[in-house]
Amino acid sequence: MMRRMLTVGAVLLMAAAPPPAPAVPPPIPPLAAYGHLPSVDLIALSPDGTKVAMIVGDAAGRQIQVRAVADHKLLHGGVVGEAKIRALQWAGENHLLLTRSTTADILGITGPKREWWMTIDLNLKTRKLMPLLGLGTDDKEEKLNVIAGKPMVRTVAGRTMAYVAGITFPAHEGLLTLFAVDLDARRTRQVATGNVDTQEFLVDAGGGVTARVDYNQHAGRWTVYTGRAGRLTRSFDDVHPVDSPWLAGFGRTAGSVLVGQEDDDDTVYREVALGGTAASPPVAEFADATPIADPRTGVAIGSSRLTELGVEHRFLDPADAATWARVKRGFGDAVVHLESWSDDRKTMILRVEGGQFGAAYFVLDVASRHASWLANEYTELDPEVLGAKTAFHYAAADGTSIPAYLTLPPGVGDTKASPGVGVAKGLPLVVLAHGGPGARDEPGFDWWAQALASRGYAVLQPQFRGSEGFGGRFQAAGYGEWGRKMQTDLSDGVAYLAKAGTIDPKRVAIVGGSYGGYAALAGVTLQHGIYAAAVSLAGPADLKRMLDFEQTMTGGTRNRTLRHWQRFMGAKGASDPALAAISPVKFVAAVDVPVLLIHGVDDTVVPIDQSRAFAAAMKRAGKPVDLVTLAGEDHWLSRGSTRTAMLEATGAFLARHLPAAAPGGAGRIATLP
């Protein structure tokens, strides 16, 4: 593997040129190379910048590793196996907090299985593990050993403390409760208990509760309380039935907090003084972005915003801004993420995607302006085997401009200027629809899109109306358009590429997960003559049944979750007859192409009954359908084995019904599984 050292000056320069591209293209890797979990994941830099923690995966399994930044020496290693590790967080120099989730029933709570989150402290000195809410408590109330929100790390009187919200049952009703965990003493004490509406807490540098947010699900009213040392007063409240505001952390000083909310067409953040009684005007520097906190003090020092082409970081401090400008110039067109940094902000971990870098991590020493290669995110996927990806726009039928990404098979060429025009002609196409639907795809490396492109397909990822990250007005344009204009936005992209000659309109498949899985089913039930095959991963097929399930999960009909789904579906509730018109299960008689269904057995977001019901309806109608179940898998394809199984099932299905020549010529077909 090529190791890269770069220098950050006025621009970032290669200290040594990369080796020339091989005369013969390298073999295309097997699908497992794309399907396994990242070879390096969840990288976190220690507060002093000398150590880096990460999850490392290879043929022997997944491990947590702590290595020295200077020479990569292994300082600690431990097996995590199949555990679903969701986050790594340093707590001082000697503790690592590992947050994991599991799909289970806990303590006899009735209803369907849920995804529960737990955090474990790894003491790097003693090598001992401690669940944050499981040992050494001095409170008397019954509580769950699960967390609700990211732990907040503070140093109080020289001791490293983790403040974490959990759930207690003081009167047989679950209440959000804040605990303080002394990590060295292995002791936990209860700090504050909320009420039935409490959603989150924030603690100050001394460990005192400085803010609390309550949200009344029935009325849609939210309230922010702020103050010092636990003495809180109501700062302000408002009614937002769906888009409830959130606590984004401290403001630009430790004497204020940032509250984010949707305001007209944009995401805004208001800075509220502790103990204040009114919201200030929005902070312009943080508009439509996510605040960046100082790693030591927690105060907001900048913001990051995902754009169509990359990540935009804006810093308040001119020195930070100048450093980031040099980084961006040096890495050129690559997408650069600030993954982690030291407390003094002099050492950074960067995740770099695109171009000659593929998908890799670098360590930047700000003082010396040197960025050194740390690891490839996927060890088997060198840049040479990745397809070119570009962002572009096309017009929907009603004139709406739809952002999109196009990934070409590796070796086909660059897609700058006009996607595929003059570069590729008549390619088979896979429309890869994202989930959400209020989510989005990102620029840079995408393992699913690259896996499909590696099999010879152009891959179109439309950011249909309703997608987030393109302005509030664009997202609001999707309300009530579930299965309607959100669906035709996808097929309008097919028409655009067909007119350009990039793709063969007779060889088009639609693939997607979650809402994207729904879109795949809708593409061959509510629409006709566009797609030659469809693959749905965990897609809702019966929307009435889906809303009935949501009512069970949320405990009623008047809550934010149901209002969210109803807003997109354009329905008043589970009994609304409008749902039948956009439910694919009602239209299986119209299907005239093969359909593949893939679903995790432990899915707690879209239950597997959705795919089973669609498969049963297809079989009754005598239609071609296959159902692949993924044992032990959740909604997010959290395990490498099942992610690979999904890719292999999809690849085999497309090869049967929509064959594509292997990229690079017939001589490379033998490398495909």
Enter the DSSP assignment of 333.
T
* Last residue of one domain, picked from the residues 553, 582, 611: 582
Q: Say yes or no: 372 and 507 in one domain.
A: no
Give CA–CA dist 492/395, Å, rounded: 7
* Helix, strand, coil share of the chain (percent; to 5): 20, 35, 40
Quick one: 574 and 645 in the same domain? no
* Domain assignment of residue 376, yes or no: yes
Last residue of a domain, one of 525, 555, 582: 582
What does pTM read for this prediction? 0.91
Q: Is 552 a member of any domain?
A: yes
- Give the chain's residues under pLDDT 70: 1-25, 59-60, 106-111, 134-144, 263-265, 278-279, 413-423, 662-673
Range of the domain at 433: 387-542+584-671
Asked if residue 635 belongs to a domain, the reply is yes
**Residues 418, 351 share a domain:** no
Residues 489 and 424 in one domain: yes
Residues forming a β-bridge with 51: 68
Tell me the two tokens of residue 11. Answer: 């621009």
Sheet holding 5-8, edge to edge: 12-14, 5-8, 370-376, 359-365, 347-353, 335-341
For residue 209, the cross-strand partners are 203
CA-based nearest residue to 527, from 478, 569, 481, 587: 587
CA–CA distance, 159 with 191 (Å, rounded to integer): 16
Distance CA 564, CA 555 (A): 15
630 & 592 share domain: yes
Instruction: Give one DSSP letter per residue of 544-590, joined into a string.
Output: HHHHHHHHHHHTSSSSHHHHHHHHHHT-SSTT-GGGGGG-GGGGGGG
pLDDT of residue 560: 77
Indicate whether 352 and 460 sit together in one domain: no
| CATH (domain of 475) | 3.40.50.1820
Are 428 and 438 in contact by the 8 Å Cβ rule? The answer is: no
pLDDT at position 10: 31
437 falls within a domain: yes
Count up the domains in the chain and report the number.
Answer: 3
Q: Which residues contact 284 (CB under 8 A, 6 or more apart)?
A: none
Q: What tokens were used for 128?
A: 């001992």
Helix or strand run (H / E) with residue 609:
helix 609-620
State the DSSP string of 112-171.
S-EEEEEEEEEETTT--EEETTTSSB---S-B-S--SS--EEEEETTEEEEEEEEEE-TT
> Within a domain: residue 129?
no
Distance of CA 531 to the CA centre of its chain: 28
The pLDDT assigned to 419 comes to 52
Write down the pLDDT at residue 43: 96
What CA–CA distances, in Å, run from 573 to 447, 482, 545, 567, 577? 36, 14, 11, 10, 9
Residue 613 lies in a domain: yes
What pLDDT sits at residue 24? 66
pLDDT computed for residue 413 by the predictor: 64
- Give the pLDDT score at 19: 42
Domain co-membership, 356 together with 415:
no
Co-location of 479 and 563 in the same domain: no
Do 13 and 50 belong to one domain?
yes
Q: End of a domain among 370, 385, 400? A: 385
Structure letter (DSSP) for residue 656: H
- The CA distances from residue 177 to 167, 173, 198, in Å, are 6, 12, 9
For tokens 């035709």, the residue is: 488
Residues 5 and 35 in one domain: yes
Q: Looking at the structure, do residues 406 and 475 belong to the same domain, yes or no?
A: yes
Task: Based on the fold, state whether residues 335 and 466 are members of the same structural domain.
Answer: no
In a domain? residue 569:
yes
Is 245 among the domain residues?
A: no
